[in-house]
Amino acid sequence: MIGEVLAEVAGGALRFIGRLFLEVVYEFLIKGAGYLLCRAFGGRKVDPDGGVVLVAGLAFWLAAGVGIYFVTRQW
C-alpha cells in the first residue's frame, strides 16, 4: 500500500520535472533561437509561435551541433 503511494508520488514528480525540462528546451532554446534568427533576417513581423520560428530554431541547433562535431573531430 505504501509502496504504491510512493510510486504514484515519484511518478508524478518525475512527470512534472520532465515536462518542465521539455518546456524549457522547446520554448527557450528552440523557439528562442528561431525567433532571434527570424527577427534578424526576416523583418519585424514575426509570429513567435509560428512554424517558421520552430524550423529556424531546429535548423540553427542542427547546424551548431554539426559544426561542433566537425570542429572537435579535427583535434
Q: Residue 48: which domain range? A: 2-73
What is the model's pLDDT at position 53? Answer: 92
Q: What is the mean pLDDT of residues 3-32?
A: 89
Q: How far is CA 63 from CA 28, 57, 59, in A?
A: 17, 10, 6
**pLDDT of residue 25 exceeding 90:** no
Number of domains in the chain: 1
pTM over 0.75: no
Q: What is the mean pLDDT of residues 14-35?
A: 90
Q: How far is residue 26's CA from residue 65's CA, in Å, rounded to a whole number?
A: 16
**Residues 28-62, buried b or exposed e (16+ Cβ, 10 A)?**
eebbebbbebbeeeeeeebeeeeeebeebbeebee
| Residue entry with cell 527557450 | 28
**Percent of the chain at pLDDT above 90?**
55
